């Protein structure tokens, strides 16, 4: 009886373990190869999809007006890049440089102010308890649902009453406020700033403004860098706002200015497509410099998170 019980309890599980081990040994290998192939194919497709327009822009910027339409768009022809640059910077007394400066000025001033405002608001919502805090957060999140296009006419009427139309303030002032950036700063502050550190600073006698600038803002540097980058990219690529609120060509941004040159081809027989292509290529350079220069903020943030 004892021998029967021992065989029934010890012997049967062995084949199951072998079968399970065989399935565990062969299954993941097939799944891993398939996954690697899918991931590799997706990366290759995404890379080609992302870089193909940039490659076309680089190739087209080296061609003259006739080669731009008659030669292969993905390969070089006769090089006229220097001539295209001279035409770009001398057309209409070099107004392209003015557009570049306007775009940089609107982007840096508006985005820097927006970053300070949103980081301070997010810090306040995360670190302080006050009445109506939940309602305020609900209003901030609910504002995501309002399309910006619906605010164009009320904003235009308001700026007209304030005499801000066709001034830099019409571009900079609206960019100072961003509900999504406030929400992002609030979420980041909740995870990056320990409340005990704030209490310790208060016990040492530091004021609230000093605590924010010396403790809170420094711990939120990675989140602030992300907010600044997203805001600057949005401001640099902004088209609808400058098109509606700016009338004088000397106050336009790069996007609106290049669009006006493309519109010349429709209204008259002149064709400025070549200069638009070269101008579009040059307008990418500040974005590339910004992305490379801000990598250290994200690297330091990731290192700080791993130490935690």
Query: What are the tens digits of pLDDT across the range 172-198?
Result: 999 998 999 999 999 999 989 999 999
DSSP 8-state code for residue 213: I
Q: How would residue 105 be classed by pLDDT, with cut points 50, 70 and 90?
A: very high
Q: In this predicted structure, what is the pLDDT of residue 144?
A: 79
Of the chain, the percentage scoring pLDDT greater than 70 comes to 85
Residue pair 87/275 in contact by the 8 Å Cβ criterion: yes
Residue 90 has pLDDT above 90, yes or no: yes
Residue 113 has pLDDT above 90, yes or no: yes
Residue 10 has pLDDT above 60, yes or no: no
In this structure, is residue 278 part of a structural domain?
yes
CB proximity list for 183: less than 8 A, separation 6 or greater: 122, 137, 140, 141
In this structure, is residue 136 part of a structural domain?
yes
Overall average pLDDT of the 235-256 stretch: 92
Residue 142: other Cβ atoms inside 10 A: 10
Q: Give the tokens for residue 162.
A: 């304030």
Q: How would residue 259 be classed by pLDDT, with cut points 50, 70 and 90?
A: very high
In this structure, is residue 46 part of a structural domain?
no
Please state the domain count of the chain.
1
In this structure, is residue 147 part of a structural domain?
yes
In this structure, is residue 295 part of a structural domain?
yes
Residue pair 253/101 in contact by the 8 Å Cβ criterion: no
In this structure, is residue 196 part of a structural domain?
yes
Owner of token pair 């608001």:
121
Residue 286 has pLDDT above 70, yes or no: yes
Model-wide pTM > 0.75: yes
In this structure, is residue 9 part of a structural domain?
no
Overall average pLDDT of the 52-61 stretch: 92
DSSP 8-state code for residue 284: T
In this structure, is residue 161 part of a structural domain?
yes
Q: How would residue 2 be classed by pLDDT, with cut points 50, 70 and 90?
A: very low
* CATH, residue 144: 1.10.3720.10
Q: In this predicted structure, what is the pLDDT of residue 298?
A: 67
Structural domain of residue 246, as residue ranges?
86-303
Overall average pLDDT of the 47-71 stretch: 91
């Amino acid at each position: 009886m004892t021998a029967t019980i021992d065989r029934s309890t010890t012997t049967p599980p062995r084949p199951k373990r072998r079968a399970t081990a065989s399935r565990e040994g062969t299954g993941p290998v097939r799944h891993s190869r398939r996954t690697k192939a899918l991931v590799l194919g997706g990366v290759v497709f995404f890379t080609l999809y992302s870089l193909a327009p940039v490659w076309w822009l680089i190739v087209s910027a080296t061609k003259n007006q006739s080669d731009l339409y008659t030669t292969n768009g993905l390969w070089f022809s006769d090089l006229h890049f220097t001539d295209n640059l001279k035409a770009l910077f001398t057309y209409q007394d070099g107004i392209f440089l003015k557009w570049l400066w306007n775009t940089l000025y609107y982007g840096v001033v508006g985005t820097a102010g927006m970053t300070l405002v949103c980081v301070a608001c997010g810090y306040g919502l995360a670190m302080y308890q006050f009445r109506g805090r939940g309602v305020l957060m609900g209003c901030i999140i609910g504002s995501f649902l309002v399309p910006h296009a619906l605010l164009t006419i009320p904003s235009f009427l308001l700026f007209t009453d304030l005499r801000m139309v066709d001034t830099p303030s019409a571009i900079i002032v609206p960019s100072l406020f961003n509900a999504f950036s406030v929400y992002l700063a609030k979420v980041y502050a909740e995870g990056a700033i320990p409340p005990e550190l704030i209490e310790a600073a208060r016990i040492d006698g530091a004021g609230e403004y000093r605590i924010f600038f010396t403790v809170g803002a420094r711990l939120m540097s990675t989140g602030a860098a992300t907010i600044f980058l997203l805001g600057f990219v949005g401001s640099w690529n902004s088209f609808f706002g400058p098109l509606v609120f700016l009338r004088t060509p000397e106050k336009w941004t790069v996007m609106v200015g290049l669009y006006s040159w493309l519109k010349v081809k429709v209204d008259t027989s002149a064709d400025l497509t070549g200069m638009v292509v070269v101008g579009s290529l040059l307008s990418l350079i500040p974005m590339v410099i910004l992305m490379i220069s801000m990598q250290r903020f994200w690297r330091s943030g990731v290192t700080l998170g791993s130490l935690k």
